[in-house]
Amino acid sequence: MKLVSSHRFTFKMFLALVGFSFIFGLCSNTFASDEKGNILAQVGSYKLTLEEFETQIQSLPPQLQMALLRNPQLKEQFLDRWVDITLIAQEARDKKLDQDPEIQAKIEDIMNAVLAQKFLQREVEGKVKITDDEIETYYKGHEEEFTNPESVKTRHILLKVPEGADEKAWKEAESKAKDIKKKLENGEDFAELAKKYSDDPGSKDKGGDLGFFTKGRMVPEFESAAFSLKPGELSDPVKTNFGYHIIEVQEKKAASTKTLAEVQAQIRQTLQKEKQQQLQDALIEKLKAKYPVKVNKDLLSEDKPQESTAPPKN
């Protein structure tokens, strides 16, 4: 059987490209300068320079950018798609599709989105500066955000008791759990016993390993026992609504706070977003005073009569 190469553009990817601002930029450069002789492609009067091509690649989502960088063939196919889309768009213009009111409305919506994005980049994003003092002040006032709570690494063997089981079933499970603990105290391997006896399908094949967890992640009885044990200690049978557990603590990590240096970049990004949002909100309020805005949100909640599609009665 011949497999289709994963490096080729699918029709779905082709259509996705049409919706990107990539196409908006590349299909509108009718009068691209060719003084340097760097025309990469031309369809009729539409020209694409190498610089424009690289610039538009940089505007694509990171995942697609990485795919293009890793695979030169994919980059060539991307260029081929520009040619294909420009050809189709040219034919659509010749057929007067660009004069269709519905199409014009969609183009207007896309253009508004692009203009708004670029305007905000110029008027908001470029004007935000975060100082080291602001970062330090934020850090001191939000240390709880950068605290790693106490955590414990455990493994367990579960002797499950079915929901609604009688007292006899609970006693049998407890007795079996005590027998398993004796085996462990006599030096038998915990992982092997977990694989043999545990009724926890999520951990038994891993030797009962539950990894690290913090408080609030497990049922109270299990959590209380786990955090009270020292590394290397075994619990007595612990009863929960699942059944009886034998718990072994393997490692503990005390609560710790990340240093300012470790979280500086994260704080800077947080403060940038906050300041940008503040500037954007102020800009919008200013624009509302400049341009009339009317919004009737009541229409969103009104029950509109549904048009009947049933054939009329004779």
The per-residue pLDDT for range 91-120, each reduced to its tens digit, is 999 999 999 999 999 999 999 998 998 899
Q: Does pTM surpass 0.75? A: no
32, pLDDT greater than 70: no
Which of 22-26, 115-119, 185-189, 310-314 tops mean pLDDT? Answer: 185-189
Q: Is 244 helix (H, G, I), strand (E, B) or coil?
A: strand
Q: Tens digits of per-residue pLDDT, 266-291? A: 999 999 999 999 999 999 999 999 99
> Are the C-beta atoms of 143 and 255 separated by less than 8 Å?
no
Say whether pLDDT at 18 is over 60.
no
What's residue 31's pLDDT?
A: 41
Q: How far is Cα 128 from Cα 122, in angstroms, rounded to an integer? A: 10
pLDDT in tens, 126-162: 788 999 999 999 999 998 899 999 999 999 999 999 9
Give the three-class secondary structure for 111.
Answer: helix
Q: Is residue 131 classed exposed, middle or buried when 0-12, 13-18 and 19+ CB atoms within 10 A define those classes? A: exposed
User: What dotted CATH number matches 150-254?
Assistant: 3.10.50.40
Best CA proximity match to 249, nearest among 170, 167, 156, 144: 156
- Phi–psi pair at 7, nearest 5 degrees: -95, 0
Task: Provide CB contacts within 8 A for 214, sequence distance 6+.
Answer: 149, 150, 151
